[in-house]
């Protein structure tokens, strides 16, 4: 029997039992749709983490103060004030694996412009901070060496500050007040979006480090910094940079006896890579769960095709009696099985895409629908039809024509 004739016979047989055909396809529809939605959610999570990694910068290490001890009780990490601008300078000059550094000092405070006010993060840092974080200016300029040396009152602001204080007005050259101290806006940063912790990275203001230390936040100890952001020369030198920083600061801070180091070096690239790997594992887990639905749909196809073979035993006997070969019978029933899978797969793809879009709309989750995932789902549905349809088709092709004609 020619393939076109087999396809026509298969479609006619499926049309005779429309409801049963639809219920048979339902397992494939649900399975394919579930696979597409789950894979889209997983891919969206990986893309979001990749964007967050890119927004942080590359090859990053963070040096944070250690813990203080009060009344025999150890405070949390970062509670000590042990890092200084001199430490940051020494790291840059004496650690060959380090490319550049950016210490910072600041806090959250009220900012005023005209009759508008906003509570935001104000950070004192160096121009290298924006290089490390690969954060470009949308307009304006960076701090100059003279402004750093003179603790000049200038500020670079994020997009959220522009929206909340200035609206449609150009902020460049305008005066804002930070803790009642006037600052001139000299730059506006390009949007960064949310961080890996869900905070708005654009809701921030940057001022020269010296200005933050001397004029805005002050410090009981001179040149203190809250943290030091470090960029290694290359990803392959991250471990070397971490060791060099640990050795240098241990030498500079000289912990006595059993005293713990008053600083910690954290590898941000490793932390984000771990998060990305977790997202991949979760994506595979979700996809595997959805594949179970697809396999259940395949088993449903096999059961219905076995029932169909039993119901059409006399038809098979008549076809064989007029010259149909076993291969023709096998191909006919296999065609019916594949048609069920492919039609169900196409419907499932449509519902899966719709489901992914609705999931993104109502939950706010990031989803990514790839053409590759759609193609894989389609061909997997066809494979399910062939795999689970072969046994019933083979059984039909092996029937004895005489016994089939006698079957009631």
For residue 366, the 8-state DSSP code is -
139 has pLDDT over 80: yes
Whole-angstrom distance, CA of residue 248 vs CA of residue 109: 34
Whole-angstrom distance, CA of residue 254 vs CA of residue 271: 28
Tokens of 104: 């910072």
Whole-angstrom distance, CA of residue 48 vs CA of residue 113: 34
Is 297 in contact with 30 (CB distance < 8 Å)? yes
103: left (phi over 0), alpha (psi -120 to 50) or beta: beta
Higher pLDDT, 92 or 302: 92
Residue reference for tokens 């059409």? 312
346 has pLDDT over 50: yes
Q: Can you give the pLDDT at residue 3?
A: 64
What's the mean pLDDT in 194-217? 85
Helix H or strand E encompassing 292: helix 268-311
Domain ranges of the chain: 3-52+274-406, 81-261
Q: pLDDT band at residue 68, thresholds of 50, 70 and 90? A: very low
Higher pLDDT, 370 or 113: 113
pLDDT tens digits, residue range 283-323? 777 667 767 777 777 787 788 777 777 777 777 777 777 77
Give the closest residue to 98 by CA, choosing from 217, 243, 295, 278: 243
What's the mean pLDDT in 13-34? 79
Tokens of 131: 């290089």
Residue reference for tokens 């396999």? 295
What's the mean pLDDT in 158-167? 93
Residues 6+ apart with CB under 8 A from 175: 113, 182, 183, 184, 185
Angle at 292 between CA 291 and CA 297, to 5 degrees: 95
What are the DSSP calls for 367-404, one per residue? ----HHHHHHHHHHHHHHHHHHHHHHHHHHHT--HHHH
Higher pLDDT, 169 or 395: 169
177 has pLDDT over 90: yes
Q: Can you give the pLDDT at residue 183?
A: 96
Which backbone phi and psi does 62 adopt, to 5 degrees? -125, 120
Q: Can you give the pLDDT at residue 252?
A: 86
CB burial of residue 12 (10 Å; 0-12, 13-18, 19+): exposed
90 has pLDDT over 70: yes
Range with the lowest mean pLDDT among 95-109, 154-168, 268-282, 374-388?
268-282
153 has pLDDT over 50: yes
52 has pLDDT over 70: no
Higher pLDDT, 232 or 291: 232
What are the DSSP calls for 298-359, one per residue? HHHHHHHHHHHHHHTHHHHHHHHHTT--HHHHHHHHHHHHHHHHHHHHHHHHHHHHHHHHHH
Is 192 in contact with 149 (CB distance < 8 Å)? no
Whole-angstrom distance, CA of residue 353 vs CA of residue 41: 11
Q: pLDDT band at residue 56, thresholds of 50, 70 and 90? A: low
Q: Can you give the pLDDT at residue 74?
A: 43
Angle at 142 between CA 140 and CA 143, to 5 degrees: 130
Is 148 in contact with 208 (CB distance < 8 Å)? yes
Q: pLDDT band at residue 221, thresholds of 50, 70 and 90? A: low
What percentage of the chain carries pLDDT values higher than 90?
26
Tokens of 154: 């200038």
345 has pLDDT over 50: yes
Residue reference for tokens 């905070």? 199
Q: pLDDT band at residue 271, thresholds of 50, 70 and 90? A: low
What are the DSSP calls for 40-53, one per residue? HHHHHHHHHHHHHH
Whole-angstrom distance, CA of residue 245 vs CA of residue 227: 13
pLDDT tens digits, residue range 357-394? 888 888 777 788 878 778 887 887 778 877 887 888 87
CA distances from 366 to 51, 159, 190, 228, 361 (A): 11, 22, 21, 32, 9
Give long-range contacts, CB 8 A cutoff, 24+ apart: 363-372: 365/41, 365/44, 365/45, 366/44, 366/45, 366/47, 366/48, 367/37, 367/40, 367/41, 367/43, 367/44, 368/40, 368/43, 368/44, 368/47, 369/36, 369/40, 369/43, 370/39, 370/40, 370/43
Average pLDDT of the chain is 81
Helix H or strand E encompassing 90: helix 85-94
Q: Can you give the pLDDT at residue 69?
A: 43
């Amino acid at each position: 029997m020619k393939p076109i004739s087999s396809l026509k016979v298969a479609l006619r047989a499926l049309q005779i039992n429309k409801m049963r055909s639809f219920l048979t396809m339902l397992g494939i529809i649900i399975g394919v749709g579930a696979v597409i939605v789950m894979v889209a959610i997983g891919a969206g999570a990986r893309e979001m983490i990749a964007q967050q990694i890119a927004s942080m910068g590359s090859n990053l290490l963070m040096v944070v103060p250690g813990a203080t001890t009060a009344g025999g009780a150890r405070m949390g990490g970062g509670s000590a004030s042990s890092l200084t601008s001199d430490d940051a300078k020494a790291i840059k000059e004496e650690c060959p694996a380090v490319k550049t550094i950016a210490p910072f000092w600041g806090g959250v405070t009220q900012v005023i412009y005209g009759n508008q006010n906003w509570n935001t993060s104000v950070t004192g840092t160096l121009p290298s901070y924006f290089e490390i974080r690969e954060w470009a200016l949308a307009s304006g300029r960076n701090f100059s060496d003279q402004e750093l040396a003179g603790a000049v009152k200038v500020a670079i602001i994020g997009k959220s500050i522009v929206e909340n204080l200035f609206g449609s007005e150009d902020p460049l050259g305008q005066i804002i007040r930070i803790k009642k101290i006037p600052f001139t806006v000299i730059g506006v940063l390009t949007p960064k979006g949310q961080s890996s912790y869900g905070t708005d990275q654009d809701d921030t203001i940057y001022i020269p480090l010296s200005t933050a230390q001397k004029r805005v936040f002050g410090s009981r100890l001179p040149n203190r910094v809250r943290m030091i952001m470090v960029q290694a020369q290359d990803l392959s030198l991250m471990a070397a940079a971490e060791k060099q920083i640990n050795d240098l600061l241990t030498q500079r801070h000289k912990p006595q006896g059993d005293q713990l180091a008053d600083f910690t070096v954290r590898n941000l690239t490793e932390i984000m890579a771990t998060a990305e790997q977790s997202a991949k594992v979760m994506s595979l887990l979700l996809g595997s769960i959805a594949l179970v639905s697809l396999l259940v749909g395949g088993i449903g196809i096999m059961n219905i095709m076995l029932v169909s073979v039993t119901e059409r035993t006399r038809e098979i006997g008549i076809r064989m009696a007029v010259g149909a070969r076993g291969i023709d019978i096998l191909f006919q029933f296999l065609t019916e099985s594949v048609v069920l899978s492919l039609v169900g797969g196409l419907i499932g793809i449509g519902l899966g895409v719709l489901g992914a879009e609705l999931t993104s709309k109502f939950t706010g989750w990031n989803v990514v629908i790839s053409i590759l995932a759609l193609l894989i789902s389609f061909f997997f549905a066809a494979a399910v039809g062939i795999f689970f349809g072969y046994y019933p088709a083979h059984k039909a092709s092996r029937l004895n024509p005489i016994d089939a004609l006698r079957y009631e």
